[in-house]
Structure 1
Amino acid sequence: MSDKAPQNNQNEEVDLGQLFNAIGKLFEKFFAFLGRVLKHFFSLIIYALKPVVTYFKTIAIVVMAAAILGFIVEKFKKPVYVSEMLVKPYFDSKYQLANNVSYFNALINSNNLSEISDIFEIDSLDAAELIGFDIQIGPETGNDLLKEYNDYIKTIDSTLAKDIPYEDYVENRDILSGSIFSVKAKSRSNDIFTSLEKGFDKTFENKYSTKLKNIRDKTIEIKTNVYKNELKRIDSLQGIYFEVLKAESENGKVSIGLEGMIPLTSQKTATKEYELFQKEMVIRDSLKILEQELIKENDYYDILSGFEEIGTVERDFWNRYTVIFPAMTLLFIIIIYLLYGAFKFIRDYEE
């Protein structure tokens, strides 16, 4: 047995040595493959840039001509104007707003000028100048996002809420998760934007939002009636306690109820009157909150910032033709050179 033990150890050492050698060869092959890939990639870049170096003067003239052409196009092309409106919808009318923005864009793309004119109450000439609308989440503070997150967590199961951290919610939330929305209008005319607000007046009210508003109004009405009845009851009790206090001041001690079975001392009466006063103040505060809610959200939306009277020129990168034209020209030359090289390689390739 003592002879077999060293032999087993020797075999294990040989196996480990072979394993390490195999791993080493695998890494060598991997790094060699990676080196070949990088070498071919670098060669491709050099080959693509070769015509730029070889025909530098010609390409420079062509690119310069493209830049001049882009500058001319920019100067003579009619500018695109943009204006922004910030709105805060209530009663879930934001869904109707998003749907109507898509509808307006569909009308513009189909050149349905008569329908656009009717919706926005503008003439067909102004309607023809419209390019489109875009809706995005409006400006929000950290507190706004945190409030939205808390409201969202309340609507889902508590077990799921643990798996949705605040950062993931902010990153993956839908556009309609917001409470304030930015509506951007684009037009070739810079003085029609204020007229477009009339069309948006019709976009927020629908059957569902009307139903929610009616439910809210009815709920406030019921709560208000309950609070007012409670105030009447408190006022009645206060009248009774006032009479008791008045009688106490005359007789020193009185009792009310059936045959005087409920005695009321001066100290107990004053305590009860103070408790009623506190309850009255709480109810009046609740009524004030209901009135503020009714005033604050009495419409289907609020315009926080309307469209500007004069739109600003859109500064979009894709409209900067002095940059786009030369870049596209250079890219086109490189692609043609690569395709020509590939065609030449295939033509001259021998089996």
Structure 2
Amino acid sequence: MSDKLPQNRNNEEVDLLVLFDYFGKSINRVINFFYKIIKGIFSFFIYALKPFIRNFKLIASVVLVSAILGFIIQKTQRDVYTSQMLVKPYFDSKYQLVTNIKYYNALINEKDYAQLQEIFNISEEDTKQIISFDIHSGPENENDKIVQYDEFLKSIDSSRAKNISFKEFVENRSIYSGDVFQIEVFSHKKDIFRSLEEGLNTTFTNTYSVKKMQKRDSLISIERQNILSSIKQVDSLQKVYIDVMNDEANSNKGSYTTKDGMSFIQERTKTKEYELLKESMQLRQALSELDAQKVEEDVYFDTLSSFQDTGEKYTSIWRVYTLIFPLAAFVTLCFVFTGKNIIRFIVNYEA
């Protein structure tokens, strides 16, 4: 019994040593794994920076020359001015507006200044100062988006509407989804924008919009006649009820006594003056809303904000050539050095 006890202790010590040795090797493997990763990343950066260190003078010279060249070009470039105009089209004239904006840009690209001169009624010299036209959806709040979403759901099948969320609608809607549009003009001349407004105002009218407005006016006229007819009928009924009530009030036959001395009170005629008054008010309110609709939308568009008399100077990072040219030169050199190293690696590679 005493001989077995020391033997068991020795076995336990051996097991502990084996376990510690296993844990030690595992920890070393983990440390070596992370060491190799860090060393690989460090080696990659060193290898990538070597060409730039070796060719530092060349890179600095190219970047400096590019910066000087960009500065010269930037100083020789003509200033660009821009101005915005907010409009609200009616009767689907927004489709014609977007089409015409594209047409104007095509004329500018083709340098068809005669056609532009005729459209905007400006001199040929001013026409040549126009750089481009642009159109965007106008400013809108969350409530405007919700209203557009509700109108969209009403225009499609109910089974499809369940699968289209508000977020998907907002992300995938086109420029035609909005009701307000921002027209932006770029020009080398800073005070040309007001003179372009009259020509732009003619872009909203087309045959489709004219017919749609005429159809709307015809429907309003028919509905107005129906409402007026209903009001006339209600007024006639009100007059009849009033006459009946006056007759009953002035009549002596409201109560009478029989020969036996029994008194009777004649029941008055039941009328609906309150219901008729309420209906009359509703009809007149509907008539007022129809008239207001025709007054508010009696044109093909409303100008919410006109062009400024003097445009603001247009600035963009892409016009800062003192920054763009050196950056482009540096990126080009990076591709050149990387390409050379890849080619050298492929040539010297041995499987």
Alignment TM-score, normalising by the size of structure 2? 0.80
Aligned position for 2:27: none
> 2:53 aligned with 1:53, yes or no?
yes
For residues 322-348 of structure 1, give each alpha carbon's deviation from its aligned partner in whole angstroms, at most 9, with x where no partner exists.
Answer: 110110111122223234444555666
In 2, Cα distance between equivalents of 1:71 and 1:267: 96
Residues 51, 334 of structure 1: 8 Å contact kept: no
In 2, Cα distance between equivalents of 1:172 and 1:250: 73
Residues 131, 188 of structure 1: 8 Å contact kept: yes
Change (3 A) 1:176 1:42: farther
1:303-314 equivalence runs, <5 A:
303-314=303-314
SS in 2 for 1:163: coil
Aligned position for 1:268: 270
Aligned residues: 305
**Structure 2 residue identity aligned to 1:76:** T
In 2, Cα distance between equivalents of 1:114 and 1:41: 64
How far 1:50 moved relative to its partner?
2.8
1:17-166 equivalence runs, <5 A:
43=44, 47-166=47-166
How far 1:46 moved relative to its partner?
5.1
In 2, Cα distance between equivalents of 1:120 and 1:294: 30
Task: Output the aligned Cα RMSD.
Answer: 2.5
In 1, Cα distance between equivalents of 2:47 and 2:131: 43
How far 1:149 moved relative to its partner?
0.3
Aligned position for 1:13: none
Change (3 A) 1:252 1:39: farther
1:140-219 equivalence runs, <5 A:
140-219=140-219
> 2:225 aligned with 1:225, yes or no?
yes
Aligned position for 1:336: 336
> 2:279 aligned with 1:279, yes or no?
yes
Residues 87, 305 of structure 1: 8 Å contact kept: yes
Residues 48, 334 of structure 1: 8 Å contact kept: no
**Structure 2 residue identity aligned to 1:216:** R
Change (3 A) 1:265 1:289: farther
Change (3 A) 1:244 1:160: same
Using the aligned pairs only, state the percent identity: 42
In 1, Cα distance between equivalents of 2:122 and 2:46: 58
Change (3 A) 1:39 1:164: farther
Change (3 A) 1:265 1:54: farther
How far 1:306 moved relative to its partner?
1.3
How far 1:191 moved relative to its partner?
0.7
Change (3 A) 1:48 1:328: farther
In 1, Cα distance between equivalents of 2:340 and 2:200: 55
Q: Unmatched 5+ residue regions in structure 1?
A: 1-31, 255-263
Q: Unmatched 5+ residue regions in structure 2?
A: 1-32, 255-265
For residues 6-37 of structure 1, give each alpha carbon's deviation from its aligned partner in whole angstroms, at most 9, with x where no partner exists.
Answer: xxxxxxxxxxxxxxxxxxxxxxxxxx9xx99x
SS in 2 for 1:136: strand
Residues 89, 204 of structure 1: 8 Å contact kept: yes
Aligned position for 1:299: 299
Residues 220, 290 of structure 1: 8 Å contact kept: yes
How far 1:139 moved relative to its partner?
0.8
In 1, Cα distance between equivalents of 2:42 and 2:181: 46
In 1, Cα distance between equivalents of 2:49 and 2:232: 90
Aligned position for 1:18: none
For residues 161-217 of structure 1, give each alpha carbon's deviation from its aligned partner in whole angstroms, at most 9, with x where no partner exists.
Answer: 110010111011111111111111111111111111111111111111111111111
How far 1:51 moved relative to its partner?
2.8
Aligned position for 2:28: none
For residues 232-286 of structure 1, give each alpha carbon's deviation from its aligned partner in whole angstroms, at most 9, with x where no partner exists.
Answer: 22222222222222212210568xxxxxxxxx965623xx222211111000000
Alignment TM-score, normalising by the size of structure 1? 0.80
SS in 2 for 1:203: helix
SS in 2 for 1:184: strand
**Structure 1 residue identity aligned to 2:274:** Y
In 2, Cα distance between equivalents of 1:319 and 1:233: 72
SS in 2 for 1:82: strand
How far 1:41 moved relative to its partner?
12
Residues 87, 302 of structure 1: 8 Å contact kept: yes
Aligned position for 1:323: 323
Residues 81, 186 of structure 1: 8 Å contact kept: yes
Aligned position for 1:289: 289
In 2, Cα distance between equivalents of 1:225 and 1:304: 33
In 2, Cα distance between equivalents of 1:42 and 1:172: 46
In 2, Cα distance between equivalents of 1:243 and 1:181: 58
**Structure 2 residue identity aligned to 1:245:** M
SS in 2 for 1:111: coil
**Which stretch of structure 1 is more off in the superposition, 155-164 or 197-206?**
197-206
